[in-house]
Structure 1
Amino acid sequence: MTARHGQVQASTTDQRLLGTRSPASFVHSDPWRVLRIQSEFVEGFGLLADLPPAVTVFGSARVGRDEPDYELGRRLGAALAQAGYAVITGGGPGAMEAVNRGARDAGGLSVGLGIELPFEQALNDWVDLGVSFRYFFVRKTMFVKYAEAFVIMPGGFGTLDELFEALTLLQTGKVTRFPVVLMGTSYWAGLLDWLRTTVLDAARIRPGDLDLVTLTDDVDEAVQVILRGTGRLDPPGGPETGEQAGSGSVDGAAAGGGRPVPTDPS
């Protein structure tokens, strides 16, 4: 860095560091934020590096314990645990709590990755291993890096954001062999219809992009899609080929994210 003329500061960096009257505002500066961001990555990587195979499940925090989606989440968490997966959620209430609860009750590892929000939200009581982040993008990296698949339960803006980020990573080849399952046909059907009749018709996506997701109401089917899509369960007759992967699910959605996508050359 070069500073000349009026940009030269009267004091040195050491003087400002060691000065007893230095204002505390420096901790809110952008260079300091870089260190906080770095520390969040280090903490997340350190916490999650030894996870067993895991599946990330997204869903609304606004699901009551007496709602059908809560029971669906519990059954899903239990089924994933019984299949040998740890479950990763956002660690909050609602659908996230339900999945963590189901996994823990079934003897599986229950992980929660929380986020600092204006309204305080602690990790739910069924999280075995948890961490809270300041930055959404750091948290999102952890969701993807340490999971082999995504399951998307009914949710709002946050859930939609996570769904489309996953699809974008698949479409662009940033992640490969990564099943994405939408749980709840009545909830998600309208969105898929819009993608098919508006976005696809306008040529803003390719026809094969709709094969990146599987739509189902069946917990057992969701688990089978994940096992098959990650190569842990081959169908009768051997592994699927690229052509076979495009069939056998709702509206042609490929089981487990379907066709291989090219790896990122970088």
Structure 2
Amino acid sequence: MADVSRRVVIVTGGSRGIGRRVAARLAAQGFGVVVGYGADKARAEEAVAQIAAAGGAAVAVGADVADEIAVTELFDAAEREFGGVDVVVHSAGILPLGALADFDLQEFDRVVRTNLRGTFVVDQQAARRLRPGGAIINFSSSVTRFANPGNAAYTATKGAVEAITLVLARELRGRDITVNAVAPGAVDSEMLTQFLQGREEQRAQIAAQSPLERLGTPDDIAEVVEFLAGPARWVNGQVLYANGGAI
């Protein structure tokens, strides 16, 4: 039997990076955690094992976030395992780079499918199925303010994520569900490592952009998500820029 007193969270992109830290922190707070993953089942099961070793409860469920059938099954699995869903943290995303003039349009479609359609599909299920007192937490990025050359595709999708977040917060009037987005700056994660491939000298330059003179960590961002998932009931329809003051 599911523990109906336990709050339940689905974390997409929960097998690595920021999503993995979010899953671990919320599990430590007593959440039942569904670790959503795209392709790397082994990493997701490793994340679940670490949560279990720390005394938490978690399961790994694979789903393409842009596939409405797969996302429906992701929510079904959460309800079967834990009895319902209270919080959705949608951290899954991809970051391909390239100047707009030369950007491959098939690659552009892939970015839009994962980052934008994926957010729409996940939020759609969340809007239909979250219990009262719940929270939807999307991931934008501080690049929407930086306007970095070579980042048009990713930046465009994250701007759209912010728009969806603000609209959905208002559409859920009367449901006691908050909808917010977290917009990280540069975080020392696998995504940043891929971004800096062949340009490692830029790491120090990026870190220096913040008055705190360091890169963010996955735990820095997970802390913000934890706040929005729990005590922050009066924060709604907002984009929180977590970037150490880089802008």
Q: Choose 1 or 2 for highest CA Rg.
A: 1
Compute the TM-score of the two structures, normalised by the length of structure 1: 0.44
TM-score, normalisation: structure 2: 0.47
Higher relative contact order (CA 8 A, sep 6+): 2
